[in-house]
Amino acid sequence: MTSPADEIDGAEQRMLGAVPGIAALGRGPAPDGDFSRHEYHHPAAGWGAARSVGAVLERAGEPLEGIRAIFVMNQEDGGFDCPGCAWPDDPSGLRLDICENGVKHATWELAPATADREFFRAHAVSELAGWSDYDLEAVGRLAEPMSYNPGTDKYEPITWEDAFALVGDTLRRLESPDQASFYTSGRLSNEATFLYQLWVREFGTNNLPDCSNMCHEASGRAMTAAIGTGKGTVDLHDWEAADAIWLMADNAATNAPRMLTWLAEADRRGAQVVHINPLIEAASRRTIVPHEFVDMATFHATAIGAMNVQVRIGGDLALLRGVAKAVFEAAEQDPAVLDREFIEQYTTGVDDYRALVTATPWADLTRDAGVDEAAIRRLADVYIASKRVIVAWCLGLTQHEHGVDTVREIVNLLLLRGNIGRPGAGPCPIRGHSNVQGNRTCGINHRPDEAFLDRLGQVCGFDPPRRHGLGTVATIEAMRRGAVKVFVALGGNFALASPDLAYTFEALRTCELTVQVSTKLNRSHVVHGQRALILPCLGRTDKDSQASGLQGITVEDSMSMVHISYGMTDPGSPQLRSECAILAGMAQATLPASTTPWQDYADDYDGIRDTMAQALDGFEDFNRRARQPHGFRLGQAARERVFHTASGRAEFSVAPLPDDIDPGTGRLMLATVRSHDQFNTTIYSNDDRYRGLKGLRTVVFMNENDMRDRGLEEFALIDITSFSKDGTERKVHGYRAVRYEVPAGCAAGYMPELNVLCGIADVSTQSEQPVMKHLIVEVTPAGATESYTSA
């Protein structure tokens, strides 16, 4: 293993461009130059969102289609499901159930198909590697299948039949099916998801990594262990009935803007909305909901936060345990504080949990949480005073070493007062991609359970592989050492979304073949294997016409509602194919002896849904129910207080407090975040309206005192060094320090740029997730020869 000092030099060389494409990462539409920052005091959404949508439509290649999309998106009468976040559709049938980010993403997808053979003939891949990510995606939609020619360093046209044959021939030549890995982005429909996992498992492997491995894996594992389901138990009717809603580690205005409507409604009826986050965000204060026209006309803002609790990065478990400690203490005076009937009838392990909580000193809890005892007790008072409580959370809770333990601590707290399995209460993970939950429901899981495999095999007539496959990080490591030779990705931008980008780039380039099924050009097309295919697919907004007629696809939102979606516009190129058709073509080429009716499935998605109805729990009578107004909700036993755990009860956990909260003297704990003008790795501009930042992404948000201690003024140039679990270090230059309301000892910066600081070894042992919200760093003035040390 190289020494830390050697690794610093190597990392610096990679960051400076020794690895093609690294130096171009994460830039918006123009190089950083004219930048500024101001305090943002306006309500979230409102006229700021309206102006932003107007600007997006004005510069769109298809402005009329963009306007039309506003009135079609998320509508039950033949509309398409927003390709952005997974927030549920309004069950009342709200006509403008949209948000600023959804319009941006739909308009991005409506771009003309100009990434065609003429474009690729004019640009070598080595040239494209130097383009910014914004410029790559701004080329337009992909127009036709392309194959990389190493002799010319260019992508060249290939027929669909030849592309499928290349995939099939390469896979069949492998010594083992486990030498291939098949990645899924959360945008894939339920039907395509089912076909994808069926093809991969018939081929003979469970190497099915997905974006959940980097996002909410910890949530699924924690809730499955605690209550027997990996999903949240609430729906929007529960949000309407809750007395208190806690939002943890979530920036609602950016991550799920349509949530603001429900937070405003909760405040109006007197519910207590609590925001728990290291960063104080605009979404924790006030909003003007754009479709509430009177409020827009009168500039009337609604509060969307009764309390802000500024926990330190990684301190959430200690905070939750402090609330539990206060609850147990209150129960000593008033036994009715605990729901003893629920605890006795439905749970196990409460005595051990009580003993653990009681034995934990307040000093330890306040130190680790970064919140004083009085504030924790005020939070506990809100919890005790509320009969029905929802706790919702996002990636700021999961992308840590102890993410599973923290989510289980949420469940512990909810169990104390029976806040699971009754109206207005329960756990609620906030998913990002529009169908990431559906992907897991429909079989994308590198750790499938035996019952799922048994039923799949019985219905589909084959013997599925039983050995667990590779998750995302394990796939990267296997590619790097040559154990995985073929990498297939359905959607997303794997090269840019992953940790340790230089390592990931090298891993992808080691592959014999990489296959990207995509809508637009992105970094994953210029970081490729020895052979590479770009297979252009239909987007969510595109009409999908097959042999049997116009097709609809289904998605599952973050609250388990399944509904159908129909595209609204003709495809921009006759060469585009649907995800289902592409998967069927690759499957037929890979498995010529398969008895699965792949072509029938591609011709008529009702046939896929009929098979899914037999193979998947909760999908009975799928075709009819999917076409009902608003679709249908998948049943959850835990919602009915039936817990499919080893004990048959909801299980309290007794994890110790994390021992990795303090980054050490002179160091900071850094979390990666996304800007408001960004969707995952897609960057729309260098602005971040809600944080008051304009024209700049290469920043680190810091506490004012931490900046002063390091002699840093606003926008001072800095170097950032991260320290990995394996003793290696990574360093980036050219960033700027920006003051922000963040706890001392904590910092934040944008992904995907700062993914370079997360080493391949920086993975949770509990969830296999990269710990991108828990990076230990040193921040020094640019060019400083010594690290900062505290007095």
Residue type, 741: E
Q: What is the mean pLDDT of the chain?
A: 90
Residues 6+ apart with CB under 8 A from 263: 245, 247, 252, 273, 283, 287, 304, 305
Mean pLDDT along residues 371-379: 98
CA distances from 259 to 87, 127, 564, 578 (A): 7, 41, 21, 31
Q: What tens digit of pLDDT does each residue of 233-259 get?
A: 999 999 999 999 999 998 887 778 888
Whole-number pLDDT of residue 480: 98
155 within 8 A of 147, measured Cβ to Cβ? yes
DSSP state of 80: -
Q: What tens digit of pLDDT does each residue of 473-486 get?
A: 999 999 999 999 99
Nearest residue to 732 (alpha-carbon basis) of 778, 682, 774, 767: 778
Residues 6+ apart with CB under 8 A from 495: 501, 504, 505, 508, 522, 523, 524, 527
**Backbone φ/ψ region at 18: left (φ over 0), alpha (ψ -120 to 50), beta:** alpha
Residues 6+ apart with CB under 8 A from 712: 702, 718, 737, 779, 781
Whole-number pLDDT of residue 29: 58
Residues listed for the chain:
791
73 within 8 A of 106, measured Cβ to Cβ? yes
Rounded distance between C-alpha atoms, residue 486 and residue 532, angstroms:
10
Rounded distance between C-alpha atoms, residue 45 and residue 49, angstroms:
5
pLDDT higher at 287 or 161? 161
Whole-number pLDDT of residue 283: 74
Q: What tens digit of pLDDT does each residue of 443-458 get?
A: 999 999 999 999 999 9
| Burial (Cβ within 10 Å: 0-12, 13-18, ≥19) of residue 43 | buried
Strands (E), 417-575: 426-429, 486-490, 513-518, 531-536, 545-546, 549-550, 553-556, 561-565
Which residue bears the tokens 């605009």? 282
Rounded distance between C-alpha atoms, residue 375 and residue 494, angstroms:
41
Whole-number pLDDT of residue 38: 81
The 3-state DSSP composition of the chain as helix, strand, coil percent (nearest 5) reads 40, 20, 45
Percent of the chain whose pLDDT exceeds 70? 88
Rounded distance between C-alpha atoms, residue 605 and residue 537, angstroms:
16
45 within 8 A of 73, measured Cβ to Cβ? no
Which residue bears the tokens 């080329």? 139
CA distances from 679 to 101, 152, 328, 380 (A): 8, 33, 42, 35
* pLDDT surpassing 70 at residue 74: no
Whole-number pLDDT of residue 289: 64
* pLDDT surpassing 90 at residue 130: yes
Nearest residue to 694 (alpha-carbon basis) of 738, 752, 732: 738
CA dihedral of 609, 615, 621, 623, whole degrees rounded to 10: -10
pLDDT higher at 69 or 459? 459
Rounded distance between C-alpha atoms, residue 713 and residue 687, angstroms:
21
* pLDDT surpassing 70 at residue 760: yes
CA distances from 601 to 178, 516, 585 (A): 26, 22, 11
pLDDT band of residue 293 (cuts 50, 70, 90) is low
540 within 8 A of 451, measured Cβ to Cβ? no
Q: What tens digit of pLDDT does each residue of 386-423 get?
A: 999 999 999 999 999 999 999 999 999 999 999 999 99
Residues 6+ apart with CB under 8 A from 153: 124, 125, 126
Q: State the CB neighbour count (10 A cutoff) for residue 452.
A: 16
Per DSSP bridges, beta strands 286-288 and 44-45 are: parallel
Q: What tens digit of pLDDT does each residue of 667-688 get?
A: 999 999 999 888 888 888 899 9
Whole-number pLDDT of residue 787: 40
Q: What tens digit of pLDDT does each residue of 33-47 get?
A: 688 888 877 766 666
Q: What tens digit of pLDDT does each residue of 175-209 get?
A: 999 999 999 998 899 999 999 999 999 999 999 99
Question: What are phi and psi for residue 615, nearest 5 degrees?
Answer: -95, -20
Per DSSP bridges, beta strands 286-288 and 775-781 are: unpaired
Q: What SS3 state is found at 582?
A: helix
45 within 8 A of 257, measured Cβ to Cβ? yes
Rounded distance between C-alpha atoms, residue 225 and residue 408, angstroms:
8
Return the HEC string of 504-541.
HHHHHHHCCEEEEEECECCHHHHCCCCEEEEEEECCCC
Whole-number pLDDT of residue 30: 53
Mean pLDDT along residues 684-710: 93
Rounded distance between C-alpha atoms, residue 382 and residue 441, angstroms:
35
Q: What SS3 state is found at 682?
A: strand
177 within 8 A of 466, measured Cβ to Cβ? no
Whole-number pLDDT of residue 258: 83
Q: Which two tokens stand for residue 275?
A: 């925001």
Q: What tens digit of pLDDT does each residue of 600-628 get?
A: 999 999 999 999 999 999 999 999 999 99
Return the HEC string of 13-61.
HHHHHHCCCHHHCCCCCCCCCCCEECCCCCCEEHHHHHHHHHHHHHHCC
| Burial (Cβ within 10 Å: 0-12, 13-18, ≥19) of residue 422 | middle
Distance from first CA to last CA of the chain, Å, rounded? 34
Residue type, 119: F
589 within 8 A of 602, measured Cβ to Cβ? no
> Range with the lowest mean pLDDT among 64-78, 266-280, 478-492, 746-760?
64-78
629 within 8 A of 74, measured Cβ to Cβ? no
Mean pLDDT along residues 567-582: 95
* pLDDT surpassing 80 at residue 655: yes
Whole-number pLDDT of residue 95: 56
Per DSSP bridges, beta strands 486-490 and 180-184 are: parallel
Whole-number pLDDT of residue 790: 30
pLDDT band of residue 91 (cuts 50, 70, 90) is confident
Percent of the chain whose pLDDT exceeds 90? 74
